[in-house]
Structure 1
Amino acid sequence: MASQYVREQVALKWTNGFARLNRGEPGITGLLTFTEAWILAREFLRPRDINETKPEFVLTQVKLAFELIGECKMLQSLVDEFLEEMKQQQFLITQECERFMSQYESTSDPQYIAQLVMRLQQWYQAWQPASALGTSMMASYTTAFQTHLFSILPPSFPRGFKALISVTFNLTHRASVPQWLLDVAPQVEGQRPDLSLWVAFDQLGFLDRYDSLVSGVCHEYVEEHILETCAEKWDEPMLAKVREWMANTIVPWMMMPYGRGARTSEEARSMLQAVGSRFDFHLCKTLSELRIKEIFDIIVDYPDSMGALQDLKECLQRVDDKALLVSSLRKANHKRLLHPGADTKLILSQYVSIIRCLRVIDPVGVLLFKVADPIRRYLRERQDTIRCIVASLVGDGESGDSLVDDSEPIQPLQQPQADDYTDPQWEPEPIDAGPEFRTNKPSDVISTLVSIYDSKELFVKELQVLLAQRLLAVKDGNYDKERRNIEILKIRFGEASLQVCEVMLKDMTDSRRIDQHVQAQQSSVLHPTIISKHFWPPLQTTTFDMPGQLKEIQERYSKEFVAFKPDKKLSWLPLLGTVKLEIELDDRTIEIDASPLEAAFVELFSQKDVWTLNELIDEVGGSIDRVTALRALSSLVLHEILKESPLDTFNLLNTKEDIEKYGVKGKQREVVMQEEATLPVVTVQQQQAEQMQVFWKFIEGMLKNLGTLPLDRIQQMLKFAPDYDRSIDQLGAFMEAARQEGLVNVKDGFWSLSNA
């Protein structure tokens, strides 16, 4: 049973409510008037089926009714009742959505999405409350309508909405307006035909909810245009042209979704500035990703691809895709460049192009540092890397395209220097640089290539070997090219490093002068090259005795030389050189340029027509092995001077009948024995291999006396050996080769002898 206090409170509230609704009028006259106003306002707001005819209302009476309800402070109650009635009528909208969406899902035609949107706008406007109810009423209504709408739209609607947006985008290209759009959306003269659609999108809340779809359509058109116009077009910058296309095509379309409410051009520019910057970012990112995907081929095409490099540089300043560039280029290099099938000269050429291209994109060198490291490590493992670099330095014609740009000034090799923090121009390293990066790394290409190795001494030794080969190959006595090369190399490596090369060049000119003196005393068909033994790289020292008249010619020349230089004597290197032979057979004469060993064999065949291989080797003596002898004999077989029949027995072909008699026997031997001529100078790799064989005795003694040792300990102890100057990587490669031969074992980084 309610207490007296509660009864008093209820009576008070009822009295106050009655007074508010009756408004102080006699009896219940005011309450009756309020009831009439409430019924009129409720009927006016009632959500009806738009297919039915709406009753006519006198707007002045409706306005007075709303004012009366507001005066009685019952407007919010009216709104709540209106929203509740709207909720009960929402099934009508659900039926409309299902009808149009079923048509779209069966046809995928965006016109049904347009019809649905315009129909939903009609429902929205039909149920829209009067503006007299205020903005809060409109906000509540809009929220309730959109909440229900978004809850009933099927998953296929975003796809259809995106297709409809694409149709509006095509209209900016002056494409013909489809008839269904004219039928669906009301047209305003002088306005875009899709204006009504965008108004409906805005009222229904689609622009906010599906903003990503709207921008996604634009992004797709940008991507498609870039792929069509920029792919594999590297000779000119394309970024400015793409931006111009976007200004003429994308920006006019953007006015509807992003700047439709602007009243002045300045206001429109301000509204489009933020979204325009976002689209420009996507444009730069798309072009950047395209160029990064093509980066390997762009580098191959350098310098014709300078336009693409400029685009990529500008895009990377806008988009942070440097990590993607490094990753993509490293993967492409590993797949297409750093493998055994690629020639070292090709790898070096591509590496030089990478250096030049990445300096265009990133002058500081951070990208180059990250990309070049795998290439440099791979080149260090290749045995002919130094030789290819040196061949390019001296202009070797067989080295292909030069690694050095003729337009670049010749300058000394640059060495990395410590940072000078007192320099007022000093700048900190870039934030994305690695811990080992240094901004003052060598900037010219040659210094960068030489810096692949820890010491330039390896290059100097290879220079000496290559120059020796080139000097010994000169037959006309013109050494101007080699002299110029030495002067250039002296600028790069310093005069002290090239002193030996100067001596070699002087030996060649002195050799011609000595030969001229000897020829003046006694004319000879022999023109030897006389060199200083201690200033040249090791030469091939295979020896044998020249037979017959060839030996007599050598002895006469030696006698005249000793007479001219009493304090010196000649030590012949008979495997090197060239002999011009005129071989007179019974029915023909053959002229060939032969090696001294070939000439020696021809001399022996002048004594008898048939020799076995062992007889020929015994006759010339010295250190000639079977392979060397077969190589010389195979050359004479190819000239149809000799034929091998039977195996290891060689016959002189005096007549063409002999050729027919012996037929084509020995063809297989000829193919097998075709090898490159022996180089006169021992290569650096051969010298190092021979020296490592000497150092093996030290390594063997260490492991025998001290047991298992790690590689760094072996390296430290070898430094006490005479002339040991190998790096720990070179020592590791040698130890691995010894392991493969079964000489040593390794376990957990410790090395031991196999027979220990």
Structure 2
Amino acid sequence: MQMRSHGFPCFVVEIIMAASEALRNQVAAKWQDSFNRLNRTGVGISGLMEFSKAWAVAAEFLRPRDLGAPPKDFNTHEIRSAFDVLMQCRMLPMLLESFVACLDMSICQRICGRNQHLITDDVTRFMTEYDASGDPDVIGRLVLRLADWYFAWAPGGELGQTISSAYIVNFQTHVFSVLPAAFAAGFKRLLAATLALFTEGATPGVPASVQDSRLWPSFELLGLADRYESLIASVCYEHIETHVLETCAGKWDEPMLSRLREWMAEKVVPWMLLPYARGAKTAEEARTMLQGVGSRFDFHVCKTLCDLRTKEMFDIVIDYPDSTHALHDLKECLQRVDQRTQLVRALRKSNKKRLLHPGADTKDILTQYVSLIRCLRVIDPPGVLLFKVADPIRRYLRDRPDTIRCIVASLVVDGESGDSLVDDDEPIQPLQSAQVDDYTDPNWEPEPIDAGPDFRANKPSDVVSTLVSIYDSKDLFVKELQVLLAQRLLAVTDGNYEKERRNLEILKIRFGEAPLQVCEVMLKDMTDSKRIDQHVQSQSSSVMHPTIISRHFWPKFQSSKIQMPGQLHEIQEAYAREFMTFKPDKKLRWLSHLGSIRLEIELQDRTVGADVPPLEAAFIELFSEQDVWTLNDLIARVGTVERSAALKALLAWVDRGVLREETEDVDMQRFRLLERVPEDAGAGPVGITTAGSRTALAEEEPAVLTVQQQQAEQMKVYWKFIEGMLTNLGGLPIDRIQTMLKFAQGYDRTVDQLGAFMDAARREGLVSVKDGIWRLNR
């Protein structure tokens, strides 16, 4: 069979014809079915005409209209009948599609050939007004206007849930599409105004739309409450934050958390019913609906207050105990909000910036540290927060040379002075130390989850134990106690040592009796000295009343080799002879540079009385031999005295008008006794003083050497050992020097103390260090 290059074979044509016939039959059947559905049981096309009329009536009823247009007159029975016909014809879905399309055009497009965008025009007009004024009342009026549009176009619930649901979804969708981005900010301000109305009441500045009872139902009607749910929450959060900062900042003397919760219940919760309890019919139902969101807002109250108190914590510690209520609030907030780490970080930062620097006095640091201990015990009784916050303070105090002295001084001060670090109400108890956990204890509890590896839950609880635990050993405190007690005993002039005896009994409870036996001897020496002096005075009356102490039980005193001249020396010798008669097995060694002497100097025209140190008395005694002395000759007569100390003693008599400095030559300074007041002396002190001489006037040094001074003196003994090591062995590291010094008798210094001593020797030019190796300077 031949086939042409163009055209179709005959059998293909037959197939197409057969298919076309089948398609025509199918289309005809569909057409007849649709006709029957629309015409129903009507005669001819009467049913179709009835359907057409019903469609026109329903479409006209649903067609959106302008709010300014006159209302349409519809017969309810006719409308319901039209919709029944459409439902019977199964054309209601098509009617809804037509209605939605018309709704879209009415909101956003032209209608009836006029440039009238209906809702879009209203939104544009209101938002332009808001952009110019920023008044939230404009947004409120816009919302109410949109609600009017909603009701104007609503098909009515009697037409069925399907039509109503489709209308609501499409109306809200199209409205959201025409709202500009600036609407969200304006809506937020409107929400804030509604909340202010509940919390502050109606004020002249409250927008009128906010007080309209239709406002919140309009929010729900338009879907704004659901769409901007996060915005509603943010308004409440910000209002809570503002209220907490305004009412609680700097107010620590009363509980604020309970007041904030009362404010929430009375002011904020009624407002929360509007967005979060919509549709609640009973109080119990509303309470159930608010349970979750109320918990979130209570959490935010605690978080905001916790943030505020965390920022104020350093000042709260300063204000303790007046700030106790703020601490209890913070404790409750921390149980609700996990911000312990932020509190630790903020406190450590504040301490470093405001406390741990050279400008802060050691006593102020200790006072703040003690207050911090008490405050953090209120917040966190197990002590985890204190352990983390106090570590930098303890390390800083450990490096300060006067820390021990300040702690010891605070333990023995008078209660009325206000310098004590320990409250009078705090019970006196022995020093406590951390102990190993006893896992067999039925009351044992595990350490808190945020405790570090070095933390121990049973750390010392009392303040004194905590302060003493800054150092590894309490021996340093005992030595400082001995020095302080010696100074206080020597300062007593009336012979009443009851106060010091009471302090010693308290210290024995804290430190134990054995470490303070030396202090017992010191106190006994003072009472024995008074008894011995009474016996000597009964045998041979003397103007001298010395304090007699045991040489081996008192701390070292400032060294001096003053020899009292003239009658002062004779008085000492007479007293010593009488003492040896009473105590033949003992001998007095005079510390002539300590104490005070009351003098009455009889001059030709006047008598001068004064209580002076022994050096001043020695110098003025020499002027009974001759009227003019050079400074060098005076120093040679009284023994080994530093030139500055001698000049200071002589200038004291110049200020009293007893001596005159006749030359300002440093090498040949000469002083003359003024038997008579010169006529040109005037009202002021008699004498010539130089500016350089005045700088010598300073406070008297304490008679007893401090612990640091004693350690420095003792380390000088070991210098010979160190010098011999470096001479024989060459350069040595500090650890090797420390190891070899331990073989020396009585050596008990730490490597840090040795390092400080070596550094002082380096500054004097005795040694040098390079790469950790110490060498002698040749």
- When the two structures are superposed, what TM-score results if normalisation uses the length of structure 1? 0.91
**Cα 1:116–1:718, aligned 2, differ >3 Å: closer, same or farther?**
farther
Per-residue CA deviation, residues 720-751 of structure 1 (Å, 9 max, x unaligned), is 44333333444444455455556566666x34
Relative to structure 1, the CA distance from residue 30 to residue 418 in structure 2 (aligned partners, 3 Å threshold; closer, same or farther) is same
| Matched residue, 1:107 | 133
- Closer, same or farther: CA 744–158 of 1 in aligned 2, 3 Å: farther
The one of 352, 365, 374 equivalent to 1:356 is 374
CA contact (8 A) 1:171 1:177 kept: no
The separation in 2 between residues aligned to 1:695 and 1:207, in whole angstroms, is 84
Report if the CA contact (8 A) 1:22-1:28 is conserved: no
1:158 equivalenced with 2:184 (yes/no)? yes
Q: Which residue does the alignment assign to 2:98?
A: 81
Equivalent residue for 1:285? 303
**Which of 1 and 2 has greater Rg?**
2
2:647–2:693: 8 Å Cα contact kept in structure 1?
A: no
Aligned residue number for residue 48 of structure 1: 65
Partner of 2:491: 473
**Alpha carbons 1:744, 1:751 under 8 Å: kept:** no
Q: Distance in 2 between matches of 1:103 and 1:722?
A: 95
- Which of 665, 673, 678 matches 2:688? 665
Q: For residue 361 of structure 2, what is the aligned residue in structure 1?
A: 343
Check whether the contact 1:392–1:399 (CA below 8 A) recurs between aligned residues: no
Larger deviation: 519-528 or 422-431?
519-528
Q: Is the CA contact (8 Å cut-off) linking 1:309 and 1:361 kept in structure 2?
A: yes
CA 520–124 in structure 1, closer or farther in 2 if over 3 Å, else same:
same
Q: Distance in 1 between matches of 2:767 and 2:88?
A: 106
- For residues 221 and 175 of structure 1, the distance between their equivalents in structure 2, rounded to whole angstroms, comes to 17
Q: Which moved more, 1:464-473 or 1:244-253?
A: 244-253
The match for 2:437 among 416, 419, 431 is 419
Query: Displacement, 1:544?
Result: 1.8
Partner deviation per Cα, 1:634-680 (whole Å, 9 max, x = no partner): 33233232233312322323222177299663152453112111211
- Change in Cα spacing, 1:71 to 1:511, as seen in structure 2 (3 Å) is same
What SS does structure 2 have at the residue aligned with 1:673?
Answer: coil
Gaps of 5+ in 1: 186-192
Structure 2 SS opposite 1:360: helix
- Distance in 2 between residues matched to 1:599 and 1:665, nearest whole Å: 21
Mapping 1:694-733, distance limit 5 Å: 694-699=717-722, 712=735, 714-733=737-756
Structure 1 residue 481 displacement after superposition: 1.5
Which is further off, 79-88 or 434-443? Answer: 79-88
Q: Which of 33, 36, 40 is equivalent to 1:22?
A: 36
Deviations 1:439-459 (A, max 9, x none): 110000100110111110000
Match of 2:5 in 1: none
Q: Which moved more, 1:52-61 or 1:412-421?
A: 52-61
Q: CA deviation at 1:577?
A: 1.1
Counterparts of 1:327-342 in structure 2, within 5 Å, are: 327-342=345-360
Distance of 2:303 and 2:216 partners within structure 1: 29
**Aligned match of 2:152 in 96, 101, 126?**
126
Distance in structure 2 (CA, Å) of the matches to 1:427 and 1:233: 36
Corresponding residue of 2:649: 632
In the alignment, residue 15 of structure 1 is paired with which amino acid? A
Question: Partner of 2:558 in structure 1?
Answer: 540
DSSP 3-state at the match of 2:700: coil
**Matched residues, percent identical?**
61
**C-alpha contact (below 8 Å) 2:252/2:326 kept by paired residues:** yes
Q: How many residues align?
A: 745
1:491 counterpart residue number: 509
Q: In structure 1, how many angstroms separate the alpha carbons of the residues matched to 2:581 and 2:369?
A: 55
Distance 1:646 1:395 in 2: 47
Matched, 1:212 2:233: no
**In 2, distance between residues paired with 1:258 and 1:571?**
92
Show the counterpart of 1:188.
none
SS in 1 for 2:214: helix
2:709 to 686, 705, 717: 686
**For structure 1, which segment, 15-24 or 624-633, has the greater mean C-alpha deviation from structure 2 after superposition?**
15-24
Measured after TM superposition, the shift of residue 39 of structure 1 is: 4.0
SS at match of 1:573: coil
Paired residues of 1:518 and 1:560 also in contact (CA < 8 A): yes
Equivalences for 1:82-481 in 2 at 5 Å? 82-91=99-108, 92=117, 93-131=119-157, 135=161, 137-172=163-198, 173-175=200-202, 181=208, 193-395=211-413, 400-481=418-499
**What SS does the corresponding residue of 1:89 show, helix, strand or coil?**
helix
Distance 1:616 1:76 in 2: 127
Are the aligned partners of 2:557 and 2:705 in contact in 1 as well (CA < 8 Å)? yes
Which one of 750, 753, 756 corresponds to residue 775 of structure 2?
753
Is the contact made by 2:655 and 2:687 (CA closer than 8 Å) also made in structure 1?
no
**What amino acid sits opposite 2:65 in the alignment?**
R
1:589 is the counterpart of 2:607: yes
Kindly indicate whether the alpha-carbon contact (under 8 Å) linking 2:193 and 2:207 is maintained by their aligned counterparts in 1: no
Aligned equivalents of 1:199, 1:269: Cα separation in 2: 20
Query: Which runs of 5 or more residues in structure 2 are unaligned?
Result: 1-12, 109-116
Structure 1 counterpart of 2:678, which letter?
Answer: E
Aligned-partner Cα distance in 2 for 1:42–1:718: 111
Give the direction of change, closer, same or farther, for the CA distance of 1:670–1:13 in structure 2 (3 Å limit).
farther
Does structure 2 conserve the Cα–Cα contact (< 8 Å) formed by 1:745 and 1:752?
A: yes
Q: SS at 1:583's partner residue?
A: strand
How many Å apart are 1:697 and its aligned residue? Answer: 4.8
- CA distance 1:743–1:473, change in 2 (3 Å): same
Q: CA deviation at 1:466?
A: 0.7
Deviations 1:619-644 (A, max 9, x none): 1123x111222232233233232233
Q: 1 CA distance for matches of 2:213 and 2:749?
A: 79
Kept in 2: contact 1:41–1:62 (CA 8 A): yes
Code of the residue aligned with 2:408 in structure 1: it is V
Q: Is the 8 A contact 1:391 1:399 kept in 2?
A: no
Structure 1 residues 645 and 288, CA gap change in structure 2 (3 angstroms): farther
Assess if the C-alpha contact under 8 Å between 1:309 and 1:360 holds in 2: yes
> What CA distance in whole angstroms lies between the structure 1 residues aligned with 2:764 and 2:146?
85
Question: 1:5-53: CA deviations, max 9, x gaps?
Answer: 6974785476346415523646665555444444443333333333334
What is the match of residue 112 of structure 2? none
Give the superposed CA RMSD. Answer: 3.0
SS of 1:208's partner is helix
Match of 2:7 in 1: none
Whole-angstrom distance in 1 between the partners of 2:571 and 2:35 = 143
Looking at structure 1, the residues matched to 415 and 726 of structure 2 have their Cα atoms a distance apart, in angstroms, of 47
- For residues 234 and 34 of structure 2, the distance between their equivalents in structure 1, rounded to whole angstroms, comes to 56
Shift in Å at residue 343 of structure 1?
1.9
Matched, 1:529 2:552: no
CA deviation after TM superposition for structure 1 residue 429, in Å: 0.9
Contact 2:64 2:153 in 1 (8 A): yes
Whether 2:673 is the aligned partner of 1:656: answer no
Distance 1:506 1:54 in 2: 114
TM-score by length of 2: 0.88
The structure-2 alpha-carbon separation of the partners of 1:14 and 1:582, relative to structure 1 and needing over 3 Å to count, comes to farther
